[in-house]
Structure 1
Amino acid sequence: MNYELKEIGKVKYIDEGQGPVLLLLHGLFGELSNFKHQVDYFKKDFRVVLPMLPLLDMDIFNTTVAGLAKFVQKFVEKLDLKNFHLLGNSLGGHVALVYILKHPERVRTLILTGSSGLFENGMGDSYPKRGDREYIRKKTEDTFYDPAIATKELVDEVFEITRNRLKAMRIIALAKSAIRNNLGDELKEIKQPTLLIWGQNDKVTPPFVAEEFKKLIPNSELYFIDMCGHAPMMEVPDEFNKILEPFLKKHG
């Protein structure tokens, strides 16, 4: 992704376009490039802001969903972002939920795709197989409906993270924090218009999870995308954007 990486403190982020703010949060093994197609598409009408979450850099005691939500809070305050659209994928969706529950006054709408927060088939239980590249390959492929999207480069990138003991400990800590931090009883407090975009073939947060979010978040609407896994914005970006655009403009 050929965008200028800006820095504020030690935080690297992308900030493109002008207009209403669309703040994007990536998932556990995510990169800024996960949202390349959304930055490309929405920067013509929105100010698209995408921070690199410090998943592998926080001290182990704060390596939690709540710790990441505090990071987002500080980032938002430093950039003085207000009345923004908040979109999160996977763990990023979970962080978005914790953030909006604590700071609803800053958020205009919420968009979740493959979000944890209720249930996920994560890496928390069997993850300690750090040296097993085949295991990592299979887990990476499970993210997508089309396993070919899990390229050798992507698998190698995830595998290298897991081979580092300290990084692996942080990944495990975040995965277990996501499992423990179930938000089912709190979701009724979310009043903002909420859009749920879900892969019909999501193995990590299966379709029933999306249905439960729809039931628990009062002002929410749900769209399923067929032949799509856990990261619709990457796997089927055109269809994802076509669902997201009218929602943003309706509430923008």
Structure 2
Amino acid sequence: METVSHHGRVTAYRRVNREAGPGCCFVHGSGGTGRVWNGQLKLAGRTPLSMVDLSGHGESEDVDADPGYQTLSAYADDVLAVRDRTDDRILVGTSLGAAVVLHLCIDRNVDVDGIVLTGAGARLGVLDDLLTWLERDFDRAIEFLHEPGRFLRTEDPDVVSRSKSTLVETGRTVTQRDFLTCHEFDVREQLDAVDVPALVVYGSDDRLTPPWYHQHLAEMIPESTLVEIEDAAHLAMIDRPDAFNSVLAEFIDSIGD
């Protein structure tokens, strides 16, 4: 892992730089780490890759931030620090990570050539029951998120176990902060401010951010492409890595032309 220091903390990221290309900076979702993108490492033969651990996740130092805009802004600082170090030209975000990417485009006018949004939405309201479990019964929250069609469609025990273990490692406090930040996120009236090409990718069976969330994004972002990944849920990049990579590779090539 490589690191970058900024705003009094250290952010860790995995860098794979084998080929020339626009470069992709990947941003994970709530309770996750950059490891959620391991299935995309095959794309290193096409372009440099950076997988960020947001503050308080994986190997990155935590930040003292209240849930909501303050946390979203801190996570955006993490991504900007990595992007400035690597000069990656494409930002790829899933779920909370997609919210960070949208925030960077809308509020920070980030200098990139394209964005990829998956498991995403212009608003990311969280079920009241899940918010309660995140506060009082973290184990129940983890089980709920791993019911089929939520985080994952696959029931492969190794894949599900790794995903659950990541939430446990991140811990209740940070994971709850992430979901509360999602719950406050709402850019429905600002999507026309996204002024770079956007690839919007969704899993056909995603019950957390269903297809119509993504259809709305694609309708409202001026220059966007909408793609469905069949037989995938919220984390389509894990459920169907080859299909996801094929779509992403085509987008990378279009940016690099």
TM-score bin (small chain): 0.7 to 0.9
Q: Tell me whether 1:71 sits opposite 2:78 in the alignment.
A: yes
Q: Deviations over 1:27-54 (max 9, x none)?
A: 1122222111212x21112111112111
In the other structure, the counterpart of 1:31 is: 33
| TM-score, length-scaled by structure 2 | 0.84
Task: Report how far residue 184 of structure 1 moved.
Answer: 0.8
Q: Is the 8 A contact 1:120 1:204 kept in 2?
A: no
Q: Which deviates further from its counterpart, 84-93 or 147-156?
A: 147-156
In the other structure, the counterpart of 1:228 is: 232
In the other structure, the counterpart of 2:55 is: 54
In the other structure, the counterpart of 1:81 is: 87
Task: Report how far residue 243 of structure 1 moved.
Answer: 1.1
Q: Is the 8 A contact 1:117 1:179 kept in 2?
A: no
Indicate the SS of the match to 2:131: coil
Indicate the SS of the match to 2:102: helix
Task: Report how far residue 236 of structure 1 moved.
Answer: 0.2
Alignment RMSD, CA only?
A: 2.2
Q: Which deviates further from its counterpart, 27-36 or 230-239?
A: 27-36
Q: Which residue of 71, 95, 98 maps to 2:100?
A: 95
| TM-score, length-scaled by structure 1 | 0.85
Indicate the SS of the match to 1:227: coil
Q: How does 1:1-252 map to 2 (within 5 A)?
A: 5-9=1-5, 10-17=10-17, 18-19=19-20, 20-39=22-41, 41-55=42-56, 57-61=62-66, 64-77=71-84, 79=85, 81=87, 84-104=89-109, 106-121=111-126, 123-130=130-137, 133-141=139-147, 142-148=150-156, 151-159=160-168, 161-162=170-171, 168-252=172-256
Q: Deviations over 1:102-153 (max 9, x none)?
A: 343511001001024423446435422335x344223233211123355334
Provide closer, same or farther for how the CA distance between residues 21 and 157 of structure 1 changes in structure 2, counting only shifts above 3 A.
closer
Q: Deviations over 1:57-94 (max 9, x none)?
A: 111337621221122223333x0526x01100111111
Paired with 1:205 and 1:125, the residues of 2 have a C-alpha distance of 19
Indicate the SS of the match to 1:145: coil
Provide closer, same or farther for how the CA distance between residues 80 and 146 of structure 1 changes in structure 2, counting only shifts above 3 A.
closer
Provide closer, same or farther for how the CA distance between residues 156 and 50 of structure 1 changes in structure 2, counting only shifts above 3 A.
closer
Task: Report how far residue 6 of structure 1 moved.
Answer: 1.6
Q: Is the 8 A contact 1:117 1:178 kept in 2?
A: no
The size of the alignment, in residue pairs, is: 239
Paired with 1:154 and 1:173, the residues of 2 have a C-alpha distance of 18
Structure 2 residue ranges without an equivalent (≥5): none
Amino acid at match of 2:102: L
Provide closer, same or farther for how the CA distance between residues 103 and 80 of structure 1 changes in structure 2, counting only shifts above 3 A.
farther
Amino acid at match of 1:48: L
Provide closer, same or farther for how the CA distance between residues 59 and 116 of structure 1 changes in structure 2, counting only shifts above 3 A.
farther
In the other structure, the counterpart of 1:165 is: none
Paired with 2:54 and 2:213, the residues of 1 have a C-alpha distance of 24
Paired with 2:124 and 2:107, the residues of 1 have a C-alpha distance of 21
Paired with 2:79 and 2:170, the residues of 1 have a C-alpha distance of 23
Paired with 1:245 and 1:230, the residues of 2 have a C-alpha distance of 20
Q: Is the 8 A contact 2:25 2:49 kept in 1?
A: yes
Paired with 1:178 and 1:111, the residues of 2 have a C-alpha distance of 18
